């Protein structure tokens, strides 16, 4: 496996697919998490992402263990306002992209540089305006 590029000392953020794959111990995501630890990256997700990832078939103990290894950032008013601005700037609607926008705003507020692991790279790249490295998983 080739080592993905990430700058030491930044932040790695997981969207709902990244979090779900971490819970399922997906090899690619687990490799990213190992690299994050080795490179002293802060691994985060948005509290809003939890709403999207929880469903009846998810293994709650595995989810809780995975969450215990992350920083779950709250959705503050400042994050929500920034997310709304990101949506407007990207020409996207909150009905469809609200959680992605909140995660992007959260990653932008975190110590940089930031990288997001996602299943929706085009949406997150548009929301971040190129200020975040977006990796498709």
Give the three-state DSSP class for 46. strand
Domain annotation covers residue 5: no
Q: With contact defined as beta carbons under 8 Å apart, do 134 and 124 qualify?
A: yes
Q: What is the CATH number of the domain that holds 16?
A: 3.40.50.1010
**What mean pLDDT, rounded, does the chain reach?**
92
pLDDT in tens, 28-57: 999 999 999 999 999 999 999 999 999 888
Best CA proximity match to 43, nearest among 58, 27, 55, 30:
30
Does residue 8 have a pLDDT over 70?
A: no
- The pTM of the full predicted model, rounded to 2 decimals, is 0.90
Residue 2 belongs to a domain? no
For residue 97, tell me if it sits in a domain. yes
Residue 5 has pLDDT above 80, yes or no: no
Tell me the pLDDT tens digit for each residue of 100-124.
999 999 999 999 999 999 998 999 9
């Amino acid at each position: 496996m080739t080592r993905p590029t990430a700058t030491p000392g930044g932040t790695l953020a997981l969207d709902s697919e990244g979090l779900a794959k971490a819970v399922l111990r997906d090899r690619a995501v687990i490799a990213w998490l190992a690299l994050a630890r080795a490179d002293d990256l802060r691994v985060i997700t948005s509290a809003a992402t939890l709403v999207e990832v929880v469903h009846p078939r998810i293994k709650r103990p595995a989810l809780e263990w995975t969450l215990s290894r992350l920083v779950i950032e709250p959705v503050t008013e400042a994050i929500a306002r920034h997310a709304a601005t990101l949506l407007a700037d990207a020409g996207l609607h909150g009905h469809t992209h609200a959680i992605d926008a909140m995660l992007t705003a959260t990653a932008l507020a975190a110590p940089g540089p930031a990288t997001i692991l996602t299943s929706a790279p085009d949406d997150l790249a548009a929301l971040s305006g190129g200020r975040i490295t977006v990796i498709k998983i």
